């Protein structure tokens, strides 16, 4: 196991390139189960999560070849309908093979992801949508077994307690493209990653209307063909670099900066005194003067992303005044507070809200990464802090950020890996 050691307090400069989107890559790779024809997917990031999805595709019978960011997927035999616990349990996103397996094979046996129960952050919306298409469902022994004599289109409402679900929308879409008749998904997720999946499915021959809106209309087709497709860049990685530039007062150019997908973030940053400038496909960040505290609520897209909540909290931790950060998507997503407080931050939680009293500067400390986005928040906090920060359990970072320490080193960051 490794840790990151960061010497903070130094401004950064140069260009940093945003990789392909993890959250777009996972369902798009799963969608390759819908066809027997060759497929080529480009701009796939090299991450622990995408590696897990490729292993899962191989275990299901696909032949997978990877060259740099290009993945070629072929079918040379029968496809297995069982998605094994050993792979699905390590990554929640792999549960989205349920829809395409059921649509293509008319049966699927998929492990519940990562110790998940039908409760908080559940899979009940996935199962609700799949069942509405006419599938028979059983949950037994930690697996979901879905069978059908033929899926049929339906009018489905997929809204949940905390809004729409990206993964459930993807799962139901991929099942519905081969269903008989018309499917309408109400309260569908509007995230760019769902729009990207829609574009890929259309390129494979699917008939879908309403991409990027909460009402998606799908007319089932008998089969899909192969595809050559390039996925979008990662807006959350881009947003992390934007917040890093603001927090360290650095002159950074973010290549493929996803500006049009980050309007909620850039609007909030403008209120805080941070000017985010779009220059074609690139983004630059300038801090006009002193930072101002801003309160935010996370919402499903196009609202402020929950996946940037922890990184934004790190910025507010060194912004004079009081800001309130409310997460209405995942109200329990505040484990990073204790670690930021170890670095001197003054943050307390009250229910689904966190009250942040800004301080002049954070101080380096040993901290523990608890999840993917919390890890990123600790990295940018460490780069802005005075002194040395050690971040333990960095395998979380490798799930969603491609070569993050190498990219930061090229910007002049004093960051290195060490064995625990």
Q: In 60-163, which residue ranges form alpha helices assigned H by DSSP?
A: 85-88, 98-105, 124-132
Q: Is the dihedral of CA 297, 300, 306, 312 positive or negative?
A: negative
**Sheet with 274-279: strands ordered across:** 13-17, 251-255, 282-287, 274-279
Give the contacts of 173 (CB within 8 A, at least 6 positions apart): 99, 185, 188, 194, 197, 198, 201, 208, 216, 218
Q: What residues pair up with 355 in beta bridges, in sequence order? A: 324, 348
Q: Counting beta carbons within 10 angstroms of the beta carbon of residue 269, is it exposed (0 to 12), middle (13 to 18) or buried (19 or more)?
A: buried
Q: What are the backbone dihedrals phi and psi of residue 221, each rounded to the nearest 5 degrees, phi first?
A: -120, 165
Give the contacts of 416 (CB within 8 A, at least 6 positions apart): 4, 5, 405
Structure tokens that stand for 178 in this block: 């081969």
Q: Is 217 helix (H, G, I), strand (E, B) or coil?
A: strand
Compute the C-alpha angle 325/328/330, nearest 5°: 100
258 is catalytic: no
Catalytic residue (one of 96, 116, 258, 353): 116
Label the pairing between strands 387-392 and 366-368.
parallel
Range 77-85, long-range pairs (CB < 8 A, 24+ positions): 79/33, 79/104, 79/105, 81/105, 81/107, 81/108, 81/109, 82/109, 82/110, 83/56, 83/59, 83/108, 83/109, 83/110, 83/111, 84/56, 84/59, 84/111, 85/111, 85/142, 85/143
CB-CB neighbours of 209 under 10 Å: 13
**Active-site residue set:** 116
């Amino acid at each position: 196991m490794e840790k990151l050691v960061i010497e903070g307090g130094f401004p950064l400069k140069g260009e940093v390139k945003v990789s392909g989107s993890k959250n777009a890559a996972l369902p798009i790779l799963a969608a390759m189960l819908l066809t027997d024809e060759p497929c080529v997917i480009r701009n796939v990031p090299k991450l622990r999560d995408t590696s897990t999805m490729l292993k899962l595709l191989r275990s299901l019978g696909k032949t997978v070849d990877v060259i740099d960011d290009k993945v070629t997927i072929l079918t040379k035999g029968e496809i297995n309908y069982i998605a094994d616990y050993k792979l699905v349990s390590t990554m929640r996103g792999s549960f989205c093979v349920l829809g395409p397996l059921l649509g293509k094979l008319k049966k699927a046996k998929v492990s519940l992801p990562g110790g998940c129960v039908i409760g908080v952050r559940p899979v009940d919306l996935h199962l609700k949508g799949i069942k509405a298409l006419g599938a028979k469902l059983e949950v037994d022994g930690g697996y979901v077994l879905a069978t059908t004599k033929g899926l049929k289109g339906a009018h489905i409402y997929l809204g949940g307690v905390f809004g729409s679900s990206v993964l459930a929308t993807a799962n139901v879409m991929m099942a519905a493209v081969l269903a008989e008749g018309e499917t309408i998904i109400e309260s569908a997720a509007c995230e760019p990653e769902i729009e990207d999946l829609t574009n890929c499915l259309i390129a494979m021959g699917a008939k879908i209307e309403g991409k990027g809106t909460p009402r998606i209309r799908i007319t089932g087709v008998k089969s899909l063909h192969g595809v050559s497709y390039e996925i979008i860049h990662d807006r959350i990685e881009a947003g992390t670099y934007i917040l890093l530039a603001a927090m360290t007062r650095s002159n950074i150019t973010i290549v493929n900066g996803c500006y049009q997908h980050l309007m909620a973030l850039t609007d909030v940053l403008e209120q805080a005194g941070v000017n985010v400038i779009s220059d074609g496909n690139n983004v630059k960040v300038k801090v006009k003067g002193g930072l101002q505290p801003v309160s935010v609520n996370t919402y499903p897209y196009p609202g402020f992303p929950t996946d940037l909540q922890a990184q934004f909290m790190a910025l507010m931790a060194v912004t004079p005044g009081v800001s309130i950060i409310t997460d209405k998507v995942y109200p329990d997503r505040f484990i990073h507070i204790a670690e930021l407080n170890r670095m001197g931050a003054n943050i307390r939680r009250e229910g689904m809200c966190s009250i942040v009293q800004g301080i002049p500067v954070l101080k380096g400390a040993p901290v523990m990464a608890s999840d993917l986005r919390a890890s990123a928040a600790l990295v940018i906090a460490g780069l802005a802090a005075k002194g040395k920060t050690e971040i333990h359990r960095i395998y979380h970072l490798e799930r969603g950020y491609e070569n993050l320490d190498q990219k930061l080193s090229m910007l002049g960051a004093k960051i290195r890996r060490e064995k625990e």
